[in-house]
Amino acid sequence: MTTAVESGAQGVRWDLTPLAPSEEAMKERLDAAVGDAAAFVERWSAKSLETIEPTSLRALLRELADIRAARYEARDWAFMLTNTDSENPAVLDIRAWVDNGSPRLDDAIRHFELAWMALPDDRARSLAEDGAVARDRHYLLGVRRFRPFMLSPAEERALSARDATAVTAWQTLRDRTLGSLSARFDDGTGEREWPLSELESARRAHPDRDVRRRAQETSTALFEPVLPVIAHCYDSLVADRLAVDDLRGHDDPIDQTNLENKIDAGVVEALLAASEAHVEIAHRWFRRKAALLGLERLDAVDLQAAAVEARQVLPWDAARRLVVDMFGGVTPALGTEAESFFSENRIDAEPRRGKTSGAFCAWPSTRVPGFVCGNWTGQLRDLVMLAHELGHGTNYALAAQAQTDNSLRQGIAIGEVPSTFAELLLVEHLLSADEDLGRALLARELDQAVMAAYMSAAFARFEQGAYALRAEGQALNADRLNALCEAAVAKVWGDAVTDELGCGKLWWASLPHFIKARFYTYAYTFAFLLAAGLVARSREPGFAERYERFLTAGGSASPAELMAVVGVDLGDPEIWNDGFAVLEGFVERMC
Q: Inform me whether the pLDDT recorded for 298 exceeds 70.
A: yes
Q: What is the pLDDT of residues 180-237, one digit of tens each?
A: 899 999 999 999 999 998 899 899 889 999 999 999 999 999 999 999 999 999 999 9
Q: What is the mean pLDDT of residues 429-437?
A: 87
266-277 pLDDT, tens digit per residue, is 999 999 999 999
Percent residues over pLDDT 90 in the chain: 81
Q: What is the DSSP string of 357-422?
A: SS-EEE---TTS--EEE----S-HHHHHHHHHHHHHHHHHHHHHTT--TTSSPPPHHHHHHHHHHH
Q: pLDDT value at position 164?
A: 64
Per the DSSP assignment, residues forming a β-bridge with 192 are 185
pLDDT band at 5 (very low <50, low <70, confident <90, very high): low
Reduce the DSSP state of residue 498 to 3 states and report it.
strand
Crossing angle of helices 209-248 and 478-493, rounded to 10°: 110
In the predicted model, is pLDDT for residue 1 greater than 70? Answer: no
What gap in Å lies between CA 116 and CA 147, rounded to an integer?
9
Task: Determine the pLDDT at residue 4.
Answer: 56
Element (H, E) at 534: helix 522-537
Give the pLDDT mean for 38-54.
95
Residue 574: how many CB atoms within 10 A of its CB? 9
Q: In the prediction, which pLDDT does 6 show?
A: 65
Q: Span 518-523, mean pLDDT? A: 95
pLDDT at 483: 98
Model pTM?
Answer: 0.92
Q: Which domains does the chain have, with CATH numbers?
A: 23-160 (1.20.140.70), 251-339+386-591 (1.10.1370.20)
Distance CA(204)–CA(220), nearest Å, equals 13
Query: Which of these ranges, 88-102, 266-280, 369-383, has the smallest mean pLDDT?
Result: 88-102
Residue 542 CB-density burial (10 A; 0-12 exposed, 13-18 middle, 19+ buried): exposed
Beta bridge partners of 371: 362
The strand pairing partners of 183, in sequence order, are 194
Residues 471-494 have pLDDT tens digits of: 999 999 999 999 999 999 999 999
Looking at residue 468, its pLDDT comes to 98
Beta strand residue intervals within 87-202, DSSP E:
182-185, 192-195
